[in-house]
Structure 1
């Protein structure tokens, strides 16, 4: 058995070779898949050509981001039980998304969240608000992925200087732009399918390996983790990370559990299947795959704590996000490290590509085609604008990713979830289930929830006053909680209700009835999209 703190030599040349091969293979897949990207339906929704199981793997690929693999393993290795709460939150969140919105959103048969929200409300203000909230959520999520990529590649190449890590983030951003420009949704989906298969397979192999070292006894593993941790048995119980401020934990829990149902890039995956039946099949596959993976994170996190040691993880390039790659290095040497890191890199690339295409679709389809051009767009015009948008989003993601280096990616994703739950979820729920919902309610809910979430994040310890803040040890936080969800999510719902009850209803009853029938049955949805 390898003891915590024992070092295993890293081999940057081998790592980058495995890495390069991986990028070459996924780029080949993207180019092959991209040959039919002619229409907006091809570029945004992959021509609705994927089966339920294929889309289930792709949903798992989209959902199991750098936060799931790098961030959660690191959080468990250092904070034990409190780190595993991320796994529980992300998994329960998926069930909320499934039960409340996934199939109903799919049945309206559109490309973006704004299509659904504007179906029975006034087009221009609702589309504009929905596009802005979508872009905000995608940007926060992109920051997390870029931070993970910078830390991961820096660990592989042994880069410790900030300038070197910044260059790495820039290279990842350029690669992402290339993937999305060439592949569209079809190429992105195939990369996600391959990545989900490899990520779950790699995690399973590492889990079995860790358990084998500990005699297939979870109890022995936990004892080893306790022995290696300076915090001792405290890592087995709640309170290490959130004990000082339980309100922060409640806020995080709200954001995690409610956020998925408002994540535009996950909801967009449901538009890539041809029928509501295939959408349901894809959900079943996704739940099994995602559930299995989150169980594995418990063993991987405590395994990293036991075999690598929390201090070694915290001191490594990439900090807390390097727990899983360091565990791979400890178990199987440079070859396993190279493979697991390449899989983690593919994870980041696939999720970033999915986020970018969602943001580009939202801008090109909602703002450009429907607000600016009022629907008068040539067949290829929308896709051209989407591709230009991808370049702009990529540049912003690179700049932001350089700014948040060193932050735990699971924590950064929790902020994206809070923004999604505050700005998007109230409007989605009201649109699908409340006949009295109005345009004013939608606009107030989206802008109010978004503004509250972002203002509270900027005023919080995320930005000010601590060692891990964006502005390290500068000033003092005005708002004490790291996550804004406990205030911003209820506020989004309240504003949606107030806005609706104070506006005289001008709803078209025929439109409302059609929305009900379509969301519940899918009848007429495909025709509405393709023509």
Structure 2
């Protein structure tokens, strides 16, 4: 049974679901096999630091090659053209920040969470609490994007048009994700990421090569047909179709670019992955392998996005139940029928499951390790009880992700991720860099930096066109926005640096020279690293 593309539903639901369930069964088996029946905190949070640079690099790319990359960017390119591709340019460049400034020193100075580094030479309780709060907020926003992608896929994959039906299946996706985290911990989640990233790279590469072959291995031919099949015409090939309408949208693009480039190296679930390798050398290797995977993937997505415009058409994509997020699945159905659609949707679902599992684990680890073990128990928590708290936290976070995904269903997932990146860069980047490189930085500066960046970014997002006031806002029935930009990074990121500086300068609290010296030696040499 197939139906017309214009109707917004494609393929045979039985085939689609069968392929997806087969993938879930395989990954659940992997998670079960690699999981430990009685994991230590090191096993659960950092997989015992047992992965090498190649494995962690592929998993690292899997952590970030999410629904935003596969569904959101391909859809953004298909509908908006050049401006949509600029998302991926920012994300590839962003890994240089992690490689040159953060990855190695983070691995040497922390153990399980971002809070380990931020609190290393500060007062433990207030800083760890602040780091955990920031992690939970950032993780929730990032989860919204993944679950929104799940909603769009569900609508297309199962022909489910009703919001209630989509909500039920989003709940099922969330339940599988929680199971990954509860049973497998970091080791199981990492192997799922490796499998998912490999399948995603193969899928995008093969579709890209097929599209090039269909157009005589001429990318110019794909672009020409895309321009003919888009309401924007030739403008889809030039900058400005999305962000070039006026001075406000141009400034919005600068703000977006700042968030994309600086946000990746501040994401808690990405930073946690540096603890899964045994030393700084493997951490550097991880970023190099991840960067190459990202370059290959985004070159393929460029072909897939414009190929979707050329063969499916922007109007058809926008009319589909998932909107822009439906570009890649619709293209798969166009060129390969029901089986390829099922494979692409299964890979996309796997992407969502794996990324949300990584996010859930990061949030659970931050609460259990930073708040429970070091704030509530003053650093004297039993490792087994800490893991139990992490698992309970994972269930709570999974439920919140399901509710948030139902609310955000239908939004472009790449755009939603850009908001999470703005929050991450605002709360974490300045704090991490000051902690690692500024000797005078102290506890007051740390708290001002985290809360100043996080609060300002949250306020600007809430009162921006992303939430209300436009046809594409999350809340369409009311208009309470006063901030003109959809992404607040251009304001909140510099403000977080300023808050950290002013908090340190005006505070009478001196930095601890002994702890600062210990941190510097450990960051540069790796001496004293705990595995």
Do 2:461 and 2:467's aligned partners in 1 also have CA atoms closer than 8 Å? yes
* Cα displacement string for residues 389-446 of structure 1 (whole angstroms, at most 9, x for unaligned residues): 0010011111111111110000000000000010110000100010010100000110
What residue is the counterpart of 2:40 in the other structure?
39
1:522 shift after superposition: 1.2
Alignment of 1:315-354 (within 5 A): 315-354=319-358
What residue is the counterpart of 1:171 in the other structure?
172
1:506 shift after superposition: 2.5
What residue is the counterpart of 1:56 in the other structure?
57
SS of the aligned residue for 1:35 comes to coil
Please state if 1:393 is matched with 2:397: yes
The 4+ residue runs of structure 1 with deviation greater than 4 A are 3-9
What residue is the counterpart of 1:285 in the other structure?
289
Provide the rounded CA distance (Å) in 2 between the counterparts of 1:14 and 1:291.
32
The structure 2 residue matched to 1:373, chosen from 357, 373, 377, is 377
What residue is the counterpart of 2:66 in the other structure?
65
1:68 shift after superposition: 0.6
Provide the rounded CA distance (Å) in 1 between the counterparts of 2:151 and 2:143.
12
Cα separation, partners in 2 of 1:141 and 1:49, compared to 1, 3 Å: same
* Cα displacement string for residues 344-374 of structure 1 (whole angstroms, at most 9, x for unaligned residues): 1111111100000000000000001000110
* Cα displacement string for residues 237-271 of structure 1 (whole angstroms, at most 9, x for unaligned residues): 11111112211101101100110111111010010
What residue is the counterpart of 1:464 in the other structure?
468
The structure 1 residue matched to 2:488, chosen from 484, 487, 501, is 484
* Cα displacement string for residues 136-158 of structure 1 (whole angstroms, at most 9, x for unaligned residues): 11110000000001111221001
What residue is the counterpart of 2:214 in the other structure?
213
Do 2:10 and 2:330's aligned partners in 1 also have CA atoms closer than 8 Å? no
What residue is the counterpart of 1:94 in the other structure?
95
Provide the rounded CA distance (Å) in 2 between the counterparts of 1:215 and 1:455.
50
What residue is the counterpart of 1:162 in the other structure?
163
What residue is the counterpart of 1:358 in the other structure?
362
Provide the rounded CA distance (Å) in 1 between the counterparts of 2:71 and 2:123.
42
Please state if 1:121 is matched with 2:125: no
Please state if 1:265 is matched with 2:269: yes
Provide the rounded CA distance (Å) in 2 between the counterparts of 1:204 and 1:37.
40
Provide the rounded CA distance (Å) in 2 between the counterparts of 1:460 and 1:67.
21
Provide the rounded CA distance (Å) in 2 between the counterparts of 1:317 and 1:425.
37
Structure 2 stretches lacking a partner, 5+ long: none
1:504 shift after superposition: 2.1
Please state if 1:383 is matched with 2:387: yes
What residue is the counterpart of 2:141 in the other structure?
140
What residue is the counterpart of 1:444 in the other structure?
448
1:8 shift after superposition: 9.5
Number of aligned residue pairs: 525
Provide the rounded CA distance (Å) in 2 between the counterparts of 1:92 and 1:440.
32
Please state if 1:409 is matched with 2:413: yes
Provide the rounded CA distance (Å) in 1 between the counterparts of 2:283 and 2:382.
30
Structure 1 stretches lacking a partner, 5+ long: none
Provide the rounded CA distance (Å) in 1 between the counterparts of 2:69 and 2:305.
11
SS of the aligned residue for 1:475 comes to coil
1:236 shift after superposition: 0.4
What is the TM-score of this pair, normalised by structure 1?
0.97
The structure 2 residue matched to 1:309, chosen from 291, 306, 313, is 313
1:313 shift after superposition: 0.7
Please state if 1:17 is matched with 2:18: yes
SS of the aligned residue for 1:462 comes to coil
The structure 1 residue matched to 2:250, chosen from 246, 252, 258, is 246
Do 1:100 and 1:261's aligned partners in 2 also have CA atoms closer than 8 Å? no
Provide the rounded CA distance (Å) in 1 between the counterparts of 2:207 and 2:371.
45
The structure 1 residue matched to 2:508, chosen from 496, 504, 507, is 504
* Cα displacement string for residues 154-185 of structure 1 (whole angstroms, at most 9, x for unaligned residues): 21001111111111211111111111101100
Do 2:8 and 2:319's aligned partners in 1 also have CA atoms closer than 8 Å? no
**CA RMSD of the aligned region, Å?**
1.5
Cα separation, partners in 2 of 1:467 and 1:402, compared to 1, 3 Å: same
Do 2:77 and 2:302's aligned partners in 1 also have CA atoms closer than 8 Å? yes
1:72 shift after superposition: 0.1
SS of the aligned residue for 1:186 comes to helix
1:508 shift after superposition: 2.3
Provide the rounded CA distance (Å) in 2 between the counterparts of 1:86 and 1:230.
22
Provide the rounded CA distance (Å) in 2 between the counterparts of 1:35 and 1:477.
49
1:21 shift after superposition: 0.5
1:4 shift after superposition: 9.6
Provide the rounded CA distance (Å) in 2 between the counterparts of 1:348 and 1:379.
30
SS of the aligned residue for 2:171 comes to helix
Do 1:4 and 1:228's aligned partners in 2 also have CA atoms closer than 8 Å? no
